Homo-oligomer: A and B are copies of this chain.
Amino acid sequence: MGLTSAQKDILDKAVSALHTRGFHAQYPEHPSPAIYGETADADGKEAFKALRKKNFDELGQEGASAWIGEEESPYFQAPLGPKYPSFSTEELIARAEKGFHSWRKVALDDRAAVLIDSLERFSKRFFENAYATMHTTGQGYMMAFQASGPHAADRALEAIAAGYDELNRFPSHTQWEKPMGKYNLLVNKEWRAVPKGIGLVIGCSTFPTWNSVPGVYASLITGNSVLVKPHPGAILPMAIVVAEIRNALREAGFNPDACQLAVDVPSNPIALTLAKHPKVKLIDFTGNSAFGSVLEALPKAVFTEKTGVNSIILDSVEDLDKVIQNITFSVALYSGQMCTAPQNFFIPAEGVKTPDGMVSFDEVAQKFADFTNGLVDNPKAGPFVLGAIQNPMTCDRAVNAAKELGGKVWLETRTIVNPIFDTTRTQTPVVIELTSADKDKFSKELFGPIALLIKTKNTEESVALAKELAETHGAISCGAYTTDAAMKEHIADEMSLAATPVSFNLTGQIFVNQNAAFSDYHVTGGNPAGNASFTNPDYVNRRFTWVGIRELA
């Protein structure tokens, strides 16, 4: 079969984007009717409603031992509906093994063609998937559309491109000619990129597709088969993706079991059993640090994105209001449930330098509370930016934070009413003041809408603390505000030694939380927040082995 000219064009542009690290979007991020069609949103909503009413039977994984699924919508605070086919571990593994031996022999261009086809199919379901994402993760509509749809598809395409690029990087054959004095020794050499075997991709409850598809597509493009094990609270978005991958495989005449969905419920988790199975050679995981570290210790190729403690360093600014507006939005966005959301805001005791002089710590803190309130209470923005809280424990954490941490509370957390779903589980950001002496309190991830304003001796101490936290507890993002060139380099150098990306002086419509495909390495892999990075070459290279075959010519 091979790549169609349209697919080749998509792939070439993606590989090129990898190498320029410039902006590239194959799938438009705006859910606009002009791009996706006048009825796309309404059709997607209807399709989502239909999915809620029946078993999810489009995978074509036959012979299920049961149909299971216990997802709940954080907007409805009621069961989502669909059930998914369930299989024994041995059945999943046996099919994945067969799928592997079929798929590994498929030519690279054919693999790329099938995978790009699956993304094209998926792109026709972005709206349906947006609703599935909203009603599992609690994300607002816009984030659910973008992150779970076009942004995820771009990340998947990035993984395809990275694998394609690596696998074509070195010649697969050469004639090696060594001068031996009186004659030349001639050897025909071949190198095979041998996939590792079965890959397992374990998803999370907050970004079910965006965090899972890079591993899925990276394993598939390099010839491995994949078991997709979503979080039991957020299955539907990835079920749609897996269904379309299987459709693309079938359409091309290949065994669809190169990619299977493996579903569980909270009372009977299957991730560790699958992960430990000797036939499983690759694991991709997004989720909590404790389980991630258990997986990392397995003698397999393991790619993790765990948790971290993200910092914002405030030193000096051009326009304080713009800065506070930007960073409070970062906290409020999806109620702090992004792995890139900032938690610790380090502010010198003497305040923040501005063109109009020093602004005191208290003034900065008050602005932080005011801007947060302004956003939360804006009926056209607040409920949609905050979205819903995926897990009730996240609400509890925010509610109890003030009592457990002590410190002055600059803003209490509360609930708000979502104008569309009045049953929505909400929790607004709590803002608490601590000092640099409270390291035991701010040295852990407090997942959710919790912002800690930490008073430090000076910016040097702020930097030292942000670095130490990143080194010891991990960090996925860091924001820093400084107008001083020497301080900027100091921050960049120190945080880079802690393998933490730094965004300087962000204001306006770009936020520290955001990582773009083809340009930003998401998670560096260099601190405890995770051992892998989207998408540096290791991310695909570790999924196969170069094996040389040679013979005298």
Contacts and interface: CB of A to CB of B under 8 A. Distances in A.
A537 B541 contact: yes
A521 B549 contact: no
Interface in A181-224: 181, 185, 187, 189, 191-192, 194, 196
A171 B509 CA distance: 25
A547 B508 contact: no
Given A176-B519, A192-B496, A21 B552 contact: no
- Among A495, A499, A507, chain B packs the most CB atoms within 10 A around the CB of A499
Interface in A59-111: none
B545 A505 contact: no
A537 B540 CA distance: 11
A232 to B, nearest CB: 29
B550 A23 contact: no
Contacts of A521: 191, 546-548
A505 B196 contact: no
Contacts of A177: 22-23
B170 A496 contact: no
Contact of A547 (B526, B538, B545): B526
Nearest to A197: B497
A510 B189 CA distance: 13
A296 B501 CA distance: 28
A545 B519 contact: no
A536 B547 contact: no
B548 A507 contact: no
A504 interface: yes
Contact of A21 (B191, B496, B499, B505): B191
A508 B551 CA distance: 12
Contacts of A500: 547
A350 to B, nearest CB: 25
Nearest to A524: B545
Interface in A471-521: 492, 495-497, 499-510, 516, 519-521
A380 interface: no
A549 B505 contact: no
Given A194-B526, A524-B546, A551 B174 contact: no
A156 to B, nearest CB: 19
Contacts of A180: 509
A23 B496 contact: no
A325 to B, nearest CB: 14
Contact of A552 (B194, B507, B551): B507
B176 A548 contact: no
Interface in A12-34: 18-23, 30
Nearest to A528: B299
A396 interface: no
A179 B18 CA distance: 18
A166 interface: yes
19 contacts: A18-B170, A22-B176, A23-B176, A180-B509, A189-B519, A189-B520, A191-B521, A194-B497, A297-B297, A495-B547, A501-B548, A502-B549, A505-B551, A505-B552, A507-B552, A526-B545, A536-B541, A537-B538, A537-B541
List of 5 A-B pairs having minimum Cβ-Cβ separation, nearest first: A526-B545, A504-B551, A496-B547, A501-B548, A499-B545
Given A23-B176, A174-B519, 13 more contacts: A166-B537, A180-B509, A187-B510, A189-B519, A191-B521, A296-B299, A297-B297, A501-B547, A504-B550, A505-B551, A505-B552, A510-B552, A537-B537
Interface of A: 18-23, 30, 166, 169-171, 174, 176-181, 185, 187, 189, 191-192, 194, 196, 296-297, 299, 492, 495-497, 499-510, 516, 519-521, 524-526, 533, 536-538, 541-542, 545-552
